Structure 1
Amino acid sequence: MAEEVTKRRGPLYAAIAAVVVAAGFAGWAGWSWVDAGTDNGLDYARTRAAVLETGRAQVAELTTLDYHNVDRGIARWLEQSTGALRDRLAATDEATKKTLAGNGSVATGKVLDAAVSELDKDTGTARMLASVEISVAKDGTAPTTNRNRFAVALTRTPAGWKLSALDPIPVGAS
């Protein structure tokens, strides 16, 4: 008779064990799901992607200028920049503007590739590298194309991320 009772309890114990294991797994899965939704790494990745997208657009903007409207081009540059870079651009004198308008060329920058190399969300700073193709079309001549590399710094402002440095990397530099 004792053997019969043990045989009847065997499936009951197995069922209880299965329920306990299933509940444990469900608890772990739920905790993992909630934790993934609040993961700082996810927020960091989103910020990095936003910095890259913004930086690419701003580098293209700052490597583009149409001689037909130099003042408007410089105004766009000022909208995309901050800090010392913006100060340098704002200090563009009338003689330089006249020279830019007088050369009769339209420069169009296109970012071929870019990568964020540093991001500090706490201080609101980032660095990236960008490879840019600049096509220069001059009235009456075929356009010429140059490829350039830039070290770029971005700073978070109340209006969003803006370029704070755009420095050419010389050919042959690593």
Structure 2
Amino acid sequence: MTAVDDGETAVPDEAAARPSPSPRPRDAEPDTPESADTTDTAGTAGGNDGRAPRSKLHVLLIAVLLVVCVALLVAGTLVGLAVWRGHQQDRDRAAATEAARAEVVNILTIDPNAIDAGVQRILDGATGPFKEDFASRKDVFSAVVKEQNVTSTGEVKAIAVESASDGSASLLVAATSTVTNAESGGQPQPRDYRMRVQVQEEAGQWLVAQVEFVP
């Protein structure tokens, strides 16, 4: 150890040669927060990955529900149309039946004292070939009724729809009439008829287009 002249305690050479510790930078951040940030980021990413499948499933469920609702709506509409069409067909059949019944009664009911009114009733319920044919013969028909003093009362006993389509129908009619004329000496004579009557709709009204007597 070397002595110093001013009398102070000498510092050992070994201590003087040892380097002093370097100061720690103030702006340095601990490692722990960085680790925490990394962990949080990873956790957030993992959370997004977890939510993505749930979001897709939610959208899929909504799409399925929409498809089901649309299918139910379409099915309900089709059922409603079928029911409405069934009711419409029933109304058409009833209207066609009533038109055929009324016209057959008009044809078989004859009063020589009101022949013009009777002829007009037949024409009012007719259309097509039947109306044209009867209109061309009405004068001869009226003359025969008056000359023979023909009186007839008709009645429909049975009527059925043979076939039907939009705006037209074919019906089978069983009818009877009680006829008196000059040849019968005033004695009523019963008569039976079977007819095939074709009707069609015109402007919302059902009219007889053809009448055919069948055996």
So what's the TM-score if we normalise by structure 1? 0.70
- Counterpart of 2:181? 138
1:50 positional shift = 1.8
State the partner residue of 2:109.
64
Structure 1 residue matching 2:187: 3-state secondary structure:
coil
SS of aligned partner of 2:137: coil
Q: CA deviation at 1:128?
A: 0.1
d(CA) in 2 for partners of 1:164, 1:155: 7
Q: Matched residues in 2 for 1:159 and 1:109: separation?
A: 27
Amino acid at match of 1:90: A
Offset, 1:95: 4.2
Please say which of residues 52-61 and 103-112 is displaced more in the overlay.
Answer: 52-61
Match of 1:125? 168
- State yes or no: 1:43 paired with 2:99: no
Q: Which runs of 5 or more residues in structure 1 are unaligned?
A: 1-26
TM-score in terms of structure 2 length: 0.58
The structure with higher relative contact order (CA 8 Å, sep 6+) is 1
Q: How far 1:42 moved relative to its partner?
A: 2.0
Percent identical across equivalent pairs? 25
Gaps in structure 2 of 5+ consecutive residues: 1-71
CA distance in 2, matches of 1:81, 1:58: 8
Q: Secondary structure at the match of 2:90?
A: helix
State the number of aligned residues.
Answer: 138
If you compute each CA radius of gyration, which structure gives the higher value, 1 or 2?
2
Pairs within 5 Å for 1:143-154: 143-154=188-199
> How is 1:6-25 mapped onto 2 (pairs within 5 angstroms)?
none
Alignment RMSD, CA only?
2.3
* Structure with more strand by fraction: 1
Letter of the 1:79 partner, please give it: D
Equivalents in 2 of 1:107, 1:113: separation in Å?
A: 19
- The correspondence of residues 72-87 of structure 1 with structure 2, limited to 5 A, is 72-87=117-132
Aligned residues of 2:178 and 2:191 also touching (Cα < 8 A):
yes
Q: Evaluate the alpha carbon distance shift between residue 130 and residue 137 of structure 1 in structure 2; reply closer, same or farther with a 3 A threshold.
A: same
Amino acid at match of 1:35: G
Partners of 1:54 and 1:41 in 2: CA distance:
20
